[in-house]
């Protein structure tokens, strides 16, 4: 037992350990995003289906377990994954800047790496801020125009009305960043976890780009369709 307690922080302190934590927690977050995106698309089946889905998430496992048990467990897993993902990212970034006190002189290297580092770092910060806004909007209902008594369907419809085009624009930008983040993140994760070989490199890059694009487009479909009046 003591050995495990000592071994875990030791693994975590290593760069490889932190990257593995990023890869595994990133994987959990990707699964959540795919499930959330698919769930959101239910809006195209109408109010009843969408509201039923929202009710179903809260009642999974009933009556064996009380209302909202499974959702609460999923929320805790999600929160722990987000915290560990951010924590590892910050500590890897600190470590990288310590190891490289003088900026790269080689322009070629700094362009290629700089793009990925910038998209991941600043993209990640904007996504984190977006999630805070999104929770205030759709979960805690603090900033949602439809108010507390509205159904989940009404909240989504009210949120993205043409008069709130800037909210739709914010969602679209954030979700495009999520797509880019997934593209690079998934590719990095498979590399960290040792799945990448010279032979499957191109296929893995294509897979990461496809998942990023599908998730981004699937998410974008909902706010844009409401703003353009295709769903009302």
- What does the binding site for ligand HEM look like in residue numbers (CB under 6 A)? 36, 40, 54, 57, 75, 127, 131, 134-135, 138-139, 152, 156, 171, 175, 178, 219, 222-223
In the complex with ligand HEM, which residue's Cβ is closer, 17 or 154? 154
Closest approach, Cβ 222 to ligand HEM, in A, equals: 4
Give the whole-angstrom CA distance, residue 232 versus residue 153.
9
The secondary structure of residue 230, as a DSSP letter, is S
Closest approach, Cβ 117 to ligand HEM, in A, equals: 20
Burial of 172 (0-12, 13-18, 19+ CB in 10 A): middle
In the complex with ligand HEM, which residue's Cβ is closer, 21 or 216? 216
Give the whole-angstrom CA distance, residue 141 versus residue 116.
35
- The answer for residues whose C-beta is within 8 angstroms of residue 62's C-beta and 6 or more apart is none
Give the whole-angstrom CA distance, residue 84 versus residue 226.
35
- The answer for residues whose C-beta is within 8 angstroms of residue 154's C-beta and 6 or more apart is 47, 146
Closest approach, Cβ 219 to ligand HEM, in A, equals: 4
In the complex with ligand HEM, which residue's Cβ is closer, 174 or 190? 174
In the complex with ligand HEM, which residue's Cβ is closer, 195 or 228? 228
End-to-end CA, the chain: 57
Closest approach, Cβ 52 to ligand HEM, in A, equals: 11
**CA torsion through residues 7, 10, 12, 15, sign:** negative
Alpha-carbon 81 to chain mean position? 10
Closest approach, Cβ 109 to ligand HEM, in A, equals: 31
In the complex with ligand HEM, which residue's Cβ is closer, 12 or 133? 133
Closest approach, Cβ 108 to ligand HEM, in A, equals: 33
């Amino acid at each position: 037992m003591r050995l495990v307690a000592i071994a875990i922080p030791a693994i975590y302190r290593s760069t490889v350990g932190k990257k593995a934590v990023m890869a595994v927690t990133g994987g959990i977050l990707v699964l959540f995003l795919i499930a959330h995106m698919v769930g959101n698309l239910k809006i195209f089946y109408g109010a009843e289906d969408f509201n039923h889905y929202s009710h179903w998430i809260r009642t999974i496992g009933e009556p064996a377990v009380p209302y909202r048990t499974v959702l609460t467990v999923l929320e805790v897993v999600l929160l722990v994954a987000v915290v560990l993902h951010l924590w590892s990212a910050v500590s890897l970034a600190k470590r990288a800047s310590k190891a490289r006190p003088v900026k790269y002189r080689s322009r070629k290297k700094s362009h290629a790496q700089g793009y990925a580092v910038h998209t991941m770092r600043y993209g990640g910060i904007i996504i984190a801020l977006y999630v805070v806004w999104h929770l205030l909007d759709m979960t805690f209902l603090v900033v949602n125009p439809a108010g507390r008594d509205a159904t989940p369907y009404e909240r989504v419809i009210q949120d993205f009305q043409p008069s709130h085009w800037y909210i739709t624009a914010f969602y679209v930008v954030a979700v495009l960043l999520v797509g880019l983040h997934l593209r690079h993140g998934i590719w990095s994760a498979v590399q960290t976890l040792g799945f990448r070989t010279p032979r499957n490199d191109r296929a893995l890059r294509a897979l990461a780009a496809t998942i990023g694009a599908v998730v981004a487009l699937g998410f974008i479909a909902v706010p844009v369709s409401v703003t353009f009046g295709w769903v009302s």
